[in-house]
A and B are shown apart, each in its own frame.
Chain A
Amino acid sequence: MKSAAALTSILVTVFLSGCAVMSGHPQTAEEFRKAVPGAYLGKVESFEVNRPFRDVAGTFQKKAPECLHMTIKTTSQTNMSYQVIVTTYNPTVLVSADKAELHLQQHHEAGVLNVTKEPEGGYYLLVADAVPVDRNTTRVDLYRPSVGFDVLIKGIKGWASGDIQGCPDLTKI
Chain B
Amino acid sequence: MQTLARAAFYPIARLLLPVCLLTACSGIKPYPNTLEENLHLHTMTESGSLFSSVRAAVDIYRVNARCQTEYQGTVALDSSSKAIGIPVDQPSYLVFDFASSSWLASSSSSISYDTLLTPRSGHDYDIEVSYLDDIYNVAILERQHRNGNSHDVGQRSLGECTPR
Query: What residues of chain A have their CB less than 8 Å away from a CB belonging to chain B?
Result: 1-2, 66, 70, 72, 74, 151, 154-155, 158, 164-172
Which bracket fits the contact residues of B?
10 to 19
B107 in the interface, Cβ–Cβ < 8 Å?
Answer: yes
Instruction: Give complex CA distance A11, B65 in Å.
Output: 47
The answer to whether A158 and B135 have CB atoms under 8 Å apart is yes
Chain B residue with minimal CB distance to A1?
Answer: B105
The answer to whether B137 and A167 have CB atoms under 8 Å apart is yes
In the complex with contacts A1-B102, A66-B155, A171-B100, A166-B136 CB distance below 8 A: yes
Within the complex, what minimum Cβ distance (angstroms) separates A157 from chain B? Answer: 11
B111 in the interface, Cβ–Cβ < 8 Å?
Answer: yes
The answer to whether B135 and A166 have CB atoms under 8 Å apart is yes
What are the residues of chain B within 8 A of A164 when measuring CB–CB? 135
Instruction: Give complex CA distance A165, B102 in Å.
Output: 25
Instruction: Give complex CA distance A172, B54 in Å.
Output: 12
Instruction: Give complex CA distance A151, B136 in Å.
Output: 11
What are the residues of chain A within 8 A of B102 when measuring CB–CB? 1
The answer to whether A1 and B107 have CB atoms under 8 Å apart is yes
The answer to whether A169 and B134 have CB atoms under 8 Å apart is yes
Known: A1-B102, A1-B105, A172-B109. 13 other contacts (CB 8 A): A164-B135, A165-B137, A165-B139, A166-B135, A167-B135, A168-B134, A169-B109, A169-B111, A169-B131, A169-B135, A169-B136, A170-B111, A172-B100
Instruction: Give complex CA distance A155, B135 in Å.
Output: 7
What are the residues of chain A within 8 A of B100 when measuring CB–CB? 169, 171-172
Instruction: Give complex CA distance A1, B134 in Å.
Output: 16
Chain B residue with minimal CB distance to A168?
Answer: B135
Chain B residue with minimal CB distance to A4?
Answer: B105
Could you list 7 A-B pairs, sorted by A, with CB under 8 Å? A72-B111, A158-B135, A166-B132, A168-B134, A169-B98, A169-B111, A169-B135
What is the total of A-B residue contacts with beta carbons within 8 Å?
A: 46
Within the complex, what minimum Cβ distance (angstroms) separates A74 from chain B? Answer: 8
The answer to whether B135 and A151 have CB atoms under 8 Å apart is yes
The answer to whether B107 and A2 have CB atoms under 8 Å apart is yes
The answer to whether A167 and B113 have CB atoms under 8 Å apart is yes
Within the complex, what minimum Cβ distance (angstroms) separates B32 from chain A? Answer: 30
What are the residues of chain B within 8 A of A155 when measuring CB–CB? 135
B23 in the interface, Cβ–Cβ < 8 Å?
Answer: no
B110 in the interface, Cβ–Cβ < 8 Å?
Answer: yes
What are the residues of chain A within 8 A of B111 when measuring CB–CB? 70, 72, 169-171
Instruction: Give complex CA distance A167, B136 in Å.
Output: 5
The 10 closest A-B pairs by CB, nearest first: A166-B137, A1-B105, A171-B109, A151-B134, A166-B135, A169-B134, A172-B134, A2-B107, A169-B111, A1-B107
- Residue from the set A66, A70, A158 with the largest chain B CB neighbour count within 10 Å: A66
Instruction: Give complex CA distance A171, B110 in Å.
Output: 7
Within the complex, what minimum Cβ distance (angstroms) separates B29 from chain A? Answer: 25
Chain A residue with minimal CB distance to B109?
Answer: A171
Instruction: Give complex CA distance A130, B131 in Å.
Output: 27
B43 in the interface, Cβ–Cβ < 8 Å?
Answer: no
Instruction: Give complex CA distance A154, B111 in Å.
Output: 17
What are the residues of chain A within 8 A of B132 when measuring CB–CB? 166
